Chains A and B, each alone.
Chain A
Amino acid sequence: MALDYSQKVMDHFINPRNVGEIENADGVGEAGNPKCGDIMKIYLKVNPDTKIIDDVKFKTFGCASAIASSSMATEMIKGRTIEDAWNLTNNAVAEALDGLPPIKMHCSVLAEEAIHTALNDYREKHGMPVIPMEHHED
């Protein structure tokens, strides 16, 4: 398949931001993609007083669009509160990347779900109610 990625996608794919792990992370989440079997893992460091995400790292097994989505999504939630970060949608990630090919939209869903899982992991560990996850068609 010909790969028509935007320059933003290529930039985040070639030089992904926030790659790695956080030791003793406050929240960890993993999401898998039933379609093609890809995996994304998110690590959060959250300020206990302000509930602001001080640091976030990811590891992703997947295509260029999955890696770029992970990179962009982590940039978008860094410095935001955990409540605020929950509202990040896969469409917002795709938009920030100047769009994804239609067949690759599901790769951005992976980012949204991994972040939600990590946020819920944090909430659970800190005695906050977990938020029900929405499941996307795409």
Chain B
Amino acid sequence: MFVYMDHTATTPVSPEVLNAMIPYFSDVFGNPSSVYSFSRKSRGAIEKARKQVADALNADTSEIFFTGSGTEADNWALKGTLEKGKIAGKNHIITTSIEHHAILHTCEYLKKVEGADITYLPVNSEGMVSVDDVRNAITDKTAIVSVMFANNEVGTIQPIKEIGALCRERKIPFHTDAVQGAAHLDIDVKAMNIDMLSMSAHKMYGPKGVGALYLRKGMRPENFIHGGAQEKGRRASTENLAGIVGFGEAFEILKGRLNEDKAINSSRRDRLIAGILERIPHAKLNGATGDNRLPNNINFSFIGVEGETLLLDLDAKGISASTGSACSSESLDPSHVLLALGLKHEMAHGSLRFTIGRLTTDEHIDYLLEVLPEIVARRRAMSPLWEDYLKSIGEK
């Protein structure tokens, strides 16, 4: 059995999306910028996709700019806005300690190269940023506030509308990385006071290597990719035609079934969470519960075991999952998100993330609940840390 429980890492391109893309590789291949009539079809396809993305967010088509990825959209928003802000003497960025590396590493770069001041806001034990903390961090030098819509590791959904209102009132550009949020939640950029929003197609059953940045009318970050006059002169490079078509189609389909998916996913999520808590002693859920959690995210820590070993044991049973363990990161550092939630190193070590989606069935949940307890118990039995833990709580 192939049980894919890593929909947050990426999703398969859905058959409808693939079908919509196919004509744009070899048949309708004209360069959208060319003058002849053959290219009109390519231009038309891009404008249709732009409308699909704009409609999904309640934005205007003139506010959607296609990029090469979610990472690029994040880079553009931060670098372009800071560069613009510096002209007016503003070099302060407010962000959070649980952002994706696309934001965190961009901030580190801006600190190093542009001398930017960065405030990394803390989160509570459920992974939630406080609006008051944002308010208190704002200075007259603040160039941009960037808070992710929903976290990719623990699934906590942030108070975006409130932070947006605060930034609007203080006239500070507000960016949100909605690469995960847009794939699961209803987003209305107007109602939520969002100035800039990053998205990525491959998290929503679209192709990899295409994303978009929403820029509210009047938002004019400096350009990030320099070259030709594509995207109204704001983002150079010949458009990824088939990719953009796929993105538009994927987002429209996603929105059409959002409520249904949300209901199915959150009920399976809660069944999996309850089942793990019931079957595995000393399992700890990381993140929030209920409506403050992405409907497809399940993240647990199992004290006494290391995540990479659990991933390999699960893989041997056909299950694909993910971990925040130090041992499985290139840097040998545990997940910065789990540490920001206040987890001790050994708890971050024993973390597992399951993210469900369209490939998930009820049988997958049953199967996982059947195999996971044995796997955890077997690895705990070989662990000196587990033994120490049991002694420390008087169970041995």
Which residues of A approach B to under 8 Å, CB–CB? 1, 3, 10, 13-14, 16, 19, 30, 35-41, 59-64, 66-67, 103
Contacts and interface: CB of A to CB of B under 8 A. Distances in A.
Interface residues on B, range: 20 to 34
Contacts of B312: 3, 10, 13, 64
Contacts of B225: none
A62 B306 contact: yes
A59 B349 contact: no
Given A37-B346, A37-B349, A39-B385, A61 B306 contact: yes
Contacts of A38: 306, 327
Contact of B332 (A3, A60, A66, A103): A103
Nearest to A40: B384
A103 B308 CA distance: 14
A1 B327 CA distance: 9
Contacts of A36: 325-327, 332, 334, 349
B383 A37 contact: no
Contact of A63 (B309, B334, B382): B309
Interface string B329-353: 1101010000000000110010000
A1 B330 contact: yes
B384 A67 contact: no
A31 B328 CA distance: 20
A3 B308 contact: yes
Nearest to B344: A37
Contacts of B327: 36, 38, 62-63, 66
B382 A60 contact: yes
B246 interface: no
Interface in B269-319: 304-306, 308-309, 311-313, 316
B305 A61 contact: yes
A70 to B, nearest CB: 9
A37 B345 contact: yes
8 contacts: A13-B309, A60-B382, A61-B306, A61-B383, A62-B306, A63-B309, A63-B325, A64-B309
Contact of B330 (A35, A64, A103): A103
A13 B313 CA distance: 9
B387 interface: yes
A59 B382 contact: yes
Central interface residue in A16, A30, A39, by most chain B CB within 10 Å: A39
A39 B387 CA distance: 12
Contacts of A62: 306, 309, 327
A30 B387 CA distance: 14
A14 B313 CA distance: 8
B386 interface: yes
A61 B345 CA distance: 13
A85 B315 CA distance: 35
Contacts of A35: 326, 332
Name the residue among A19, A35, A63 with the largest chain B CB count within 10 angstroms: A63
A64 B326 contact: no
Interface in B332-386: 332, 334, 345-346, 349, 381-386
A61 B328 contact: no
Nearest to A20: B382
B382 A39 contact: no
Contact of B385 (A19, A61, A64): A61
A63 B384 contact: no
A79 B228 CA distance: 72
Nearest to A21: B387
A61 B332 contact: no
A60 B384 contact: yes
A64 B346 contact: no
A62 B384 CA distance: 10
A92 B332 CA distance: 23
Contacts of B382: 16, 19, 59-60, 67
Given A35-B332, A36-B332, A64 B384 contact: no
A64 B345 contact: no
Given A1-B329, A13-B312, 9 more contacts: A1-B328, A35-B326, A35-B332, A36-B325, A59-B382, A59-B383, A61-B386, A64-B309, A66-B306
A30 B388 CA distance: 13
B306 A59 contact: no
B224 to A, nearest CB: 28
A36 B383 CA distance: 15
Nearest to A104: B327
Contacts of B326: 35-37
Give 9 nearest A-B pairs by CB, closest first.
A63-B327, A36-B326, A61-B385, A59-B384, A61-B383, A41-B384, A63-B308, A36-B332, A37-B345
